[in-house]
């Protein structure tokens, strides 16, 4: 049983986790995050031929050796791989992923590696996610696949991955981890197959796994349908807290109460920029946007097609009229822009109370419906087609991908990079300087106002005090970041990619069921006020991880007339347990009882610790002390049993 209860950490990314929990012979993958920061090492994929990008010089070693110049290009002192961008997958070697029974997804950002796991590791289990998580996750994957597939790139670099060569490269390429396992993007076919393995669940739904474990998603307040998970048996509880938020944005608020009294809390997805207050950042974003547009500039907002964009559009909806921006067009460009806007309106049950009550009117919960109706917000699948006809400047463009390596955003970076425009970089998951590196030098003004609503470390410390977790959490290791320390007692364990943590549990009980017939036969006895006891002798049955106690079988009738068996076959089973005894024997009452039952000639002697009762006629001696009774008699079974029963009258059985 000790090999159980371990946490295998497959991703080192603090907000894109992938862990495997072994718990009660069940193997549960917690999230399936895809580390896309690996793509920052690649050159952007332009939608239209970019002379600038294609004319970047090849990179050569210090000694002038230029054998890598086809694969590596240099731009403003940084070196990039000129190839189809690749992603850093979760560890696949640490644990046999075909043994994973279920995958629990906490939000749509944390499922992007799903096709790699479900399609290529022999996985045969079930994936659990809420409906918004699944639907929006599908949109994110669809967008990603579309971005990559619509600009086919012949070049595929692999030479640089050679360990001996990688050592010679400049940072950050030199330090990139596990480059040999980096993979290209999956296909839509793989996405569909992966999503078909999802079983939809609702908040607070109890899902039984193999009769041993129950898992339950709880609202985490971070995104539409985002969840934390409770994984529990009857006497053990693990809480898995992934991207969670205590701020009031559009999703249903976080359910904190249900996390109470966990034995272990696994904590991931905390904000990495705890000093950036989201409200302040949104304010900064709006004022910079107004300023730029008034000066005739355009604003480019790299973003995911779902999530924070809903909140931004809502802020702008309230802001544009007062800021005199009513005539400025807002463009939302993504292959899934329309779907994302439509889907956001149909998940009333997953929204915060305010938005829910709008649906009851009935009105769409998000005001972007009105922005679309009044033509202030327009959405397009890509820059090709209708967009080029409608395009007016100055304008505000929301588009992906936030890595700035693929998607329509690459086009706008090339187009506006040298103009008076503003890039508002909002995504906390990528380092914005690294994201911008292949576009340097840039004339456009870059505003970094990261909006991250996830729990910060102060909030976590407070939360932990409230939920009374008995064993503290595991979080991704953060070297040299004092602001990312969690103040808690006992201190948190931290993990790194490819580490295995043994989770401490203080479990002492297991659930067992007493069959009604047995329960009826029990004789409870009140020992102390409010506490009753009953001794139980029963047959234990264990099946499918469930334990049941049944009444003991009736003793078989002795086969009397049959020939006497050999002595050894009659040897009793000494493993039949007799109850323990407790109490003490009052000598006088005991003697009276003996007399009542026909014993005479009784003599009582006092000893240091008690008494000796002598039955002279029967040559029997009974030593009675506070906690023991010793009956010494001749080999007369009838006598012994009679005496035993009289003694037992004064004792309680346990």
Partner 1 sequence: MDACDVRSSPVRVQPFSFYKWAGQDVGRSCILVSISGKNVMLDCGMHMGYNDDRRFPDFSYITQSGRLTDFLDCVIISHFHLDHCGALPYFSEMVGYDGPIYMTHPTQAICPILLEDYRKIAVDKKGEANFFTSQMIKDCMKKVVAVHLHQTVQVDDELEIKAYYAGHVLGAAMFQIKVGSESVVYTGDYNMTPDRHLGAAWIDKCRPNLLITESTYATTIRDSKRCRERDFLKKVHETVERGGKVLIPVFALGRAQELCILLETFWERMNLKVPIYFSTGLTEKANHYYKLFITWTNQKIRKTFVQRNMFEFKHIKAFDRAFADNPGPMVVFATPGMLHAGQSLQIFRKWAGNEKNMVIMPGYCVQGTVGHKILSGQRKLEMEGRQVLEVKMQVEYMSFSAHADAKGIMQLVGQAEPESVLLVHGEAKKMEFLRQKIEQEFRVSCYMPANGETVTLPTSPSIPVGISLGLLKREMVQGLLPEAKKPRLLHGTLIMKDSSFRLVSSEQALKELGLAEHQLRFTCRVHLQDTRKEQETALRVYSHLKSTLKDHCVQHLPDGSVTVESILIQAAAHSEDPGTKVLLVSWTYQDEELGSFLTALLKNGLPQAPS
Residues between 242 and 261 that touch partner 1 (CB under 8 A): none
Q: Between 347 and 439, name the residue whose CB sits nearer to partner 1.
A: 347
In 10 A of CB 318, how many CB atoms?
A: 11
For the bound state, the minimum distance from the C-beta of residue 352 to partner 1, rounded and expressed in Å, comes to: 13
For the bound state, the minimum distance from the C-beta of residue 249 to partner 1, rounded and expressed in Å, comes to: 20
Which listed residue (227, 334, 339, 382) binds partner 1 by CB under 8 A?
339
Contact 368, 164 (CB under 8 A): no
**Is residue 502 within the footprint of partner 1 (CB under 8 A)?**
no
For the bound state, the minimum distance from the C-beta of residue 160 to partner 1, rounded and expressed in Å, comes to: 42
Q: Between 73 and 378, name the residue whose CB sits nearer to partner 1.
A: 378
Question: For residue 385, which phi and psi values (nearest 5 degrees)?
Answer: 80, -140
Q: Between 502 and 536, name the residue whose CB sits nearer to partner 1.
A: 536
**Is residue 637 within the footprint of partner 1 (CB under 8 A)?**
yes
Contact 42, 156 (CB under 8 A): no
Which listed residue (39, 106, 249, 345) binds partner 1 by CB under 8 A?
345
Q: Between 1 and 154, name the residue whose CB sits nearer to partner 1.
A: 1
Which listed residue (153, 445, 507, 642) binds partner 1 by CB under 8 A?
507
Q: Between 39 and 258, name the residue whose CB sits nearer to partner 1.
A: 258
Piece of 37-45, 113-121, 265-273, 571-579 that binds partner 1 (CB under 8 A): 571-579
Distance, in Å, from the CA atom of 374 to the CA atom of 233, rounded to the nearest integer, reads 53
Piece of 74-82, 102-110, 438-446, 583-591 that binds partner 1 (CB under 8 A): 583-591
Which listed residue (584, 587, 593, 612) binds partner 1 by CB under 8 A?
584
Residues 391-420 binding partner 1 (CB under 8 A) are none
Piece of 182-190, 345-353, 437-445, 495-503 that binds partner 1 (CB under 8 A): 345-353
How open is the CA angle 425-427-428, to the nearest 5 degrees? Answer: 120
Contact 200, 129 (CB under 8 A): yes
In 10 A of CB 166, how many CB atoms?
A: 16
Residues 48-67 binding partner 1 (CB under 8 A) are none
For the bound state, the minimum distance from the C-beta of residue 488 to partner 1, rounded and expressed in Å, comes to: 27
Residues 158-217 binding partner 1 (CB under 8 A) are 201-206, 216
Q: Between 588 and 634, name the residue whose CB sits nearer to partner 1.
A: 634
Contact 611, 622 (CB under 8 A): no
Q: Between 372 and 395, name the residue whose CB sits nearer to partner 1.
A: 372
| Token pair in block for residue 187 | 């296909």
Which listed residue (152, 568, 588, 608) binds partner 1 by CB under 8 A?
568
Distance, in Å, from the CA atom of 615 to the CA atom of 619, rounded to the nearest integer, reads 6
Q: At how many degrees (to 10) do helices 278-294 and 308-319 cross? A: 60
CA distances 321 to 33, 261, 318, 562, Å, are 39, 49, 7, 104
Read off the DSSP letter of residue 180. Answer: G
Q: Between 98 and 535, name the residue whose CB sits nearer to partner 1.
A: 535
| Surface-to-core class of residue 648, CB atoms within 10 Å of its CB (0-12 exposed, 13-18 middle, 19+ buried) | middle
Residues 432-491 binding partner 1 (CB under 8 A) are none
Piece of 66-74, 265-273, 402-410, 627-635 that binds partner 1 (CB under 8 A): 627-635
Distance, in Å, from the CA atom of 117 to the CA atom of 98, rounded to the nearest integer, reads 9
Contacts of 621 (CB under 8 A, 6+ apart): 612, 613, 614, 615, 631, 632, 633
For the bound state, the minimum distance from the C-beta of residue 86 to partner 1, rounded and expressed in Å, comes to: 31
Q: Between 443 and 632, name the residue whose CB sits nearer to partner 1.
A: 632
Reduced to 3 states, what is the DSSP secondary structure of residue 522? coil
Which listed residue (415, 581, 612, 614) binds partner 1 by CB under 8 A?
581
Taking the alpha carbons at both ends of the chain, their separation in whole angstroms is 29
**Is residue 609 within the footprint of partner 1 (CB under 8 A)?**
no
Residues 226-245 binding partner 1 (CB under 8 A) are 234-235
| Token pair in block for residue 118 | 């479900």
**Is residue 608 within the footprint of partner 1 (CB under 8 A)?**
no
Reduced to 3 states, what is the DSSP secondary structure of residue 234? coil
Reduced to 3 states, what is the DSSP secondary structure of residue 331? strand
**Is residue 504 within the footprint of partner 1 (CB under 8 A)?**
no
Binding mask 266-305 for partner 1 (x = CB under 8 A): ----------------------------------------
Q: Check whether the bond before 109 is cis (ω within 30° of 0).
A: no
Reduced to 3 states, what is the DSSP secondary structure of residue 74? strand
Q: Check whether the bond before 394 is cis (ω within 30° of 0).
A: yes
**Is residue 579 within the footprint of partner 1 (CB under 8 A)?**
yes
CB-side exposure of 553: number of CA atoms within 13 Å? 4
**Is residue 315 within the footprint of partner 1 (CB under 8 A)?**
no
Q: Between 258 and 424, name the residue whose CB sits nearer to partner 1.
A: 258
Q: At how many degrees (to 10) do helices 131-149 and 337-344 cross? A: 170
For the bound state, the minimum distance from the C-beta of residue 130 to partner 1, rounded and expressed in Å, comes to: 9
For the bound state, the minimum distance from the C-beta of residue 409 to partner 1, rounded and expressed in Å, comes to: 23
Q: Between 202 and 491, name the residue whose CB sits nearer to partner 1.
A: 202
**Is residue 634 within the footprint of partner 1 (CB under 8 A)?**
yes
Piece of 270-278, 296-304, 457-465, 502-510 that binds partner 1 (CB under 8 A): 502-510
Residues 513-552 binding partner 1 (CB under 8 A) are 513-516, 519-520, 522-524, 526-528, 530-540, 542, 547-549, 552
Which listed residue (61, 632, 645, 649) binds partner 1 by CB under 8 A?
632
Residues 346-365 binding partner 1 (CB under 8 A) are 346-349, 356, 359-360, 362, 364-365
Which listed residue (418, 630, 645, 649) binds partner 1 by CB under 8 A?
630
Contact 614, 630 (CB under 8 A): no
Contacts of 568 (CB under 8 A, 6+ apart): none
- In the beta sheet, which residues pair with residue 127? 103, 198
- Beta strand residue intervals within 193-343, DSSP E: 198-201, 207-209, 213-219, 227-232, 237-241, 264-267, 298-302, 330-333
Q: Between 431 and 537, name the residue whose CB sits nearer to partner 1.
A: 537
Query: Could you please report the per-residue DSSP string of 370-421?
Result: HHHHTTSEEEESSSTTHHHHH--SS-EEEES-TTSSSSHHHHHHHHHTTSSE
Q: Between 440 and 628, name the residue whose CB sits nearer to partner 1.
A: 628
CB-side exposure of 622: number of CA atoms within 13 Å? 23
Piece of 15-23, 34-42, 293-301, 621-629 that binds partner 1 (CB under 8 A): 621-629
Distance, in Å, from the CA atom of 84 to the CA atom of 44, rounded to the nearest integer, reads 9
Q: Kindly state the greatest CA–CA separation across the chain.
A: 121
Residues 96-135 binding partner 1 (CB under 8 A) are 131
Q: How many binding residues for partner 1 (CB under 8 A)?
A: 95
For the bound state, the minimum distance from the C-beta of residue 542 to partner 1, rounded and expressed in Å, comes to: 7
Candidates 453, 19, 470; CA nearest to 254 is 453
């Amino acid at each position: 049983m000790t090999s159980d209860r371990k946490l295998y950490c497959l991703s080192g990314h603090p907000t894109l986790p992938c862990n495997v929990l072994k718990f009660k012979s069940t193997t549960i993958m917690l999230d399936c995050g895809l580390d896309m920061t690996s793509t920052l090492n690649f050159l952007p994929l332009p939608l239209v031929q970019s002379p600038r990008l294609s004319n970047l010089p090849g990179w050569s070693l210090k000694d002038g050796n230029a054998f890598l110049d086809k694969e590596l290009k240099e731009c403003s002192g940084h070196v990039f791989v000129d190839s189809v961008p690749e992603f850093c997958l979760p560890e696949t070697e640490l644990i046999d992923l075909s043994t994973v029974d279920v995958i629990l997804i906490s939000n749509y950002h944390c499922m992007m590696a799903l096709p790699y796991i479900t399609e290529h590791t022999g996985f045969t289990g079930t994936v659990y996610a809420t409906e918004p998580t699944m639907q929006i996750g599908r949109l994110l994957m669809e967008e990603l696949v579309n971005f990559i597939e619509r600009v086919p790139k012949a070049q595929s670099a692999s030479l640089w991955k050679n360990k001996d060569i990688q050592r010679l490269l400049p940072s950050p390429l030199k330090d990139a981890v596990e480059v040999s396992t980096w993979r290209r993007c999956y296909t839509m076919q793989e996405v569909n197959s992966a999503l078909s393995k999802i079983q939809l669940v609702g908040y607070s739904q109890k899902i039984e796994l193999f009769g041993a474990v129950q898992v339950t998603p709880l609202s985490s307040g971070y995104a539409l349908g985002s969840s934390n998970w409770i994984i529990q048996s009857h006497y053990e509880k693990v809480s898995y807290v992934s991207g969670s938020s205590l701020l009031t944005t559009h999703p249903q608020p976080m359910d904190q109460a249900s996390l109470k009294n966990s034995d272990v809390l696994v904590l991931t997805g905390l904000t990495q920029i705890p000093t950036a207050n989201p409200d302040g950042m949104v304010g900064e974003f709006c004022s910079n946007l107004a300023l730029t547009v008034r000066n005739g500039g355009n604003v480019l907002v790299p973003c995911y097609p779902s999530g924070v964009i809903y909140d931004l559009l809502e802020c702008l909806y309230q802001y544009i009229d007062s800021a005199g921006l009513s005539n400025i067009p807002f463009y939302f460009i993504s292959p899934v822009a329309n779907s994302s806007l439509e889907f956001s309106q149909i998940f009333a049950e997953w929204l915060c109370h305010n938005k829910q009550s709008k649906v009851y009117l009935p009105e769409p919960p998000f005001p972007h419906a009105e922005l679309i109706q009044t033509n202030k917000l327009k959405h397009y699948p890509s820059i090709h087609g209708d967009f080029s006809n409608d395009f007016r400047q100055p304008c505000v463009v929301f588009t992906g991908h936030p890595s700035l390596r693929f998607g329509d955003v690459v086009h706008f970076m090339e187009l506006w990079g040298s103009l008076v425009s503003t890039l508002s970089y909002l995504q906390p998951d990528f380092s914005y300087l690294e994201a911008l590196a292949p576009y340097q030098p840039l004339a456009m003004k870059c505003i970094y106002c990261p909006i991250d609503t996830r729990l910060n470390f102060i909030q976590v410390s407070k939360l932990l005090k409230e939920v009374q977790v008995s064993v503290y959490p595991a979080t991704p290791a953060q070297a040299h970041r004092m602001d990312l320390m969690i103040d808690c007692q006992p201190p948190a364990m931290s993990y790194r990619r490819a580490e295995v943590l043994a989770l401490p549990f203080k479990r002492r009980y297991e659930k067992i069921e007493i069959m009604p017939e047995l329960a009826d036969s029990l004789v409870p006895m009140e020992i102390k006020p409010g506490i009753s006891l009953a001794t139980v002798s029963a047959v234990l049955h264990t099946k499918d991880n469930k334990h049941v106690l049944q009444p003991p079988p009736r003793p078989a009738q002795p086969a009397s007339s049959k020939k006497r068996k050999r002595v050894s076959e009659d040897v009793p089973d000494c493993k039949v347990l007799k109850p323990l005894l407790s109490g003490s024997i009052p000598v006088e009452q005991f003697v009276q009882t003996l007399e009542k039952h026909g014993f005479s000639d009784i003599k009582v002697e006092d000893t240091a610790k008690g008494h000796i009762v002598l039955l002279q006629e029967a040559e029997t001696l009974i030593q009675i002390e506070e906690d023991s009774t010793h009956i010494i008699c001749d080999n007369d079974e009838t006598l012994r049993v009679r005496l035993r029963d009289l003694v037992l009258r004064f004792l309680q059985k346990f």
